[in-house]
Structure 1
Amino acid sequence: MPRFHCSIPLSSGDTLALPPGAARHVQVLRLQPGDEITLFDGSGGEFAATVERMGRSDVAVNVGARDAVEREALRPVHLAVGMPANERMDWLVEKATELGVASIQPLMTAHGVLRLAGERADKKVAHWQAVAVAACEQCGRNRVPQVLPVRSLNDWLGALPAPCAGEQRGILSFAAGARTPAGLVSESPASFTLLSGPEGGLSPSEEQEALRRGFVPLTLGPRVLRAETAAIAALVSLSG
C-alpha cells in the first residue's frame, strides 16, 4: 500500500487536504477516490486513510484507524559526518535513514571538499531532509530523522556537552587500539553518536579534539573505505 509522509498532525476521523508534497505523490501514482493509502506524520505510528477527492492540485483524504507500529532501531544513533561531495551525500542520507539513524549532522572539515554557507546550505539541508522523508516512505519508518543545519566540525565539537550516562561516542579511525563498533555496542549504550570523516578523513588535530570530547576510536578493518561506505558500514553494526 502506498505510504506518504504528512507534515501536519493526523487524527482518526479527520478529513483533510494533503500537504502539497504528499498530494503530488498521490497524483503521480494516479490514485483515485476510494483508493487506500497509509499516512504518517513523524510522531510515531501510522494511519490508514482513503482518498476522498482528487482535484487539479489538491487531494482530500479521510483518516482512519491509527496503528501504533514502530520500526525504529534498538537505540538512537546520531550520525555526524564530514559531507562527501557530489551525489554521495544524497545516497548517504537515504541509506542512513533506511538503517534507522536518529539524526544527521552535516559537517565541514579540514579535508572536506564540500563547502556550504548561507542560502546554499539551507537549500541543501532542505533537499537532504526531503531525501530522508522519501526514504522513510519507502522503508516503512514512521519517524523521520532530522537533518541538522550545516556546521563546521570545530564549532560542533565545541558546543557538545560532556557525555551523559548511557551515551557513547565513537569516531571512525585508523588509530592503534581502535575498537570495533560491535564491541562498543555490546556495552548496551542508551544512545550513540558516530563521527565519520569526509574523503581524506579527519585531520590529526580534528581527531584529537574529538577524542578529548569523549569519542572512542572505532575501526572497520584494514581496508580504506569511501567516506559514505564507512559511515553506512558502522551504522549497520550500531543500529541493530
Structure 2
Amino acid sequence: MPPRLHCPVPLQEGALLELPSTAARHVQVLRLQPGDPVTLFDGRAGEWDASVERMGRSEVLVRVGSHRAIDREPAVQVHLAIGIPANERMDWLVEKAAELGAASIQPLATERTVLRLQGERALKKQAHWQAIAAAACEQCGGNRVPVVHAIADLASWTPPAGLLRRVLSFDVAARPLQGTRADAPVLLLSGPEGGLSPREEDRARAEGFEPVTLGPRVLRAETAPLAALAALTLASAPEVPAP
C-alpha cells in the first residue's frame, strides 16, 4: 500500500505539486524515489493517487493522479468536547479519537483541569494537536481530518446547535450510553481527571446534555471518551467498497 500523505492544499488531477513541508519530510524519511506511488488526501473528502516526480534537498514534487471518492468515516458523526487531561494524555486522546473517526475535538478548560494554557501557548498546543490528528488519519486511512478547535473555557463555551447532547456522568440515574438514540450527529461532553464538578454537570444538563454512563467501571479521563466514541462509531461504520 502506498504511503498516505496529508496535503491540505488544492489538489487537481494532472497537476505538478510541491508537497507541504511535513509531507515532504515524510517522503524523504521513507527514502522514496521518483516514480514511487503515494496517496494524497486534503482532509475534507476522498483521496488522490499520485507519484513522486522529483526529489530535492528539501522539496518534493509529485504528479497528482486520479481522485477516488472513497469515504471511511462512521455513519454517525460524533463531536468530542473534552476536559483537557493532564500531562501528555491529551496527545494520546487526540490521536486515538482521530483513528476512531471523531468528527471534531473541542478541548475545554474546566474547574478540575490541571493543564492551563493561554495565549500563544494555547495556539501552539492547538496546532500540535491538529498535526497529531492529521498524522493519525495518514496511518488509519481516514480521509476527513477532525478539526481540533481552539481551547475554550467550559464556563463560557457555547455548545454548537443541532446535535444530540450527551455528557458522561457518575450519576446513578445516568442512562447506559449504548441504549441512547444515536441516529443523528452527537456532541459528547467528558470531564478531566475527577470528572466535571457538580456545578458544571448541572449547567450541562440545563443546556440539554443527557447524562450517560459506560457502566460501573471508573475509566481514566483519556479512556472514557474514547470508549464512548468507539461504542458510537464502530457500530455505525459503513462498509468500505473495494478499491
- TM-score, structure 2 normalization: 0.94
Contact 1:53 1:61 in 2 (8 A): yes
Aligned partner of 1:234 in structure 2 is 228
Is there any run of 5+ residues in structure 2 with no aligned partner, and where? 237-243
Equivalent residues, number? 233
Aligned-pair CA distance for 1:176: 2.2
Q: What percent of counterpart residues are identical?
A: 63
* Distance in 1 separating the partners of 2:200 and 2:227: 22
Secondary structure at the counterpart of residue 61 of structure 1: strand
Equivalent in the alignment of 2:175:
179
For normalisation by structure 1, the TM-score amounts to 0.95
Q: Counterparts of 2:136 and 2:156 in 1: how far apart (Å)?
A: 29
Q: What is the CA–CA distance in structure 2 between the aligned matches of 1:169 and 1:5, rounded to whole Å? A: 31
Give the superposition deviation at 1:223: 1.5
Runs (4+) of structure 1 exceeding 2 A deviation are none
Residue in structure 1 matched with residue 4 of structure 2 by the alignment: 3
Distance 2:37 2:169 in 1: 48
Matched, 1:61 2:62: yes
Pick one of 197, 207, 210 that aligns with 2:204: 210
Deviation at 1:237, TM superposition (A): 1.0
> What SS does the corresponding residue of 2:155 show, helix, strand or coil?
helix
Q: Which amino acid aligns with 1:98?
A: E
1:151-202 CA-to-partner distances (Å, cap 9, x unmatched) read 111111xx236x53xx311000011221122111xx3432000000000111
Kept in 2: contact 1:33–1:54 (CA 8 A): yes
Task: Call closer, same or farther: CA 1:188–1:233 in 2, change over 3 Å.
Answer: closer
Structure 1 match to 2:14: 13
Q: Distance in 1 between matches of 2:105 and 2:182?
A: 21
Q: Secondary structure at the match of 1:121?
A: helix
Please, which moves more after superposition, 224-233 or 175-184?
175-184
Match of 1:220 in 2: 214
2:182 and 2:232 in contact (8 A); partners too: no
> How far did residue 76 of structure 1 move?
1.0
**1:4 partner SS:** strand
Contiguous gaps of at least 5 residues in structure 1: none
Whole-Å Cα distance in 2 between the matches of residues 63 and 114 of structure 1? Answer: 42
Q: Distance in 2 between matches of 1:141 and 1:225?
A: 27
Partners in 2 of 1:237 and 1:37 — Cα distance?
32
Task: Return the alpha-carbon distance in structure 1 between the equivalents of residues 182 and 207 of structure 2.
Answer: 20
What RMSD in Å do the two structures reach over aligned CA positions? 1.0
1:35 equivalent in structure 2? 36
Residue 218 of structure 1 aligns to a residue whose secondary structure is strand
Secondary structure at the counterpart of residue 205 of structure 1: helix
Relative to structure 1, the CA distance from residue 183 to residue 141 in structure 2 (aligned partners, 3 Å threshold; closer, same or farther) is same
SS at structure 1 position matched to 2:101: coil
| Alpha-carbon shift at residue 110 of structure 1 (Å) | 0.5
Amino acid at match of 2:144: R
One of 196, 200, 208 as aligned partner of 2:194: 200
Q: Distance in 2 between matches of 1:45 and 1:181?
A: 31
Q: What does residue range 54-133 of structure 1 map to in structure 2 within 5 Å?
A: 54-133=55-134
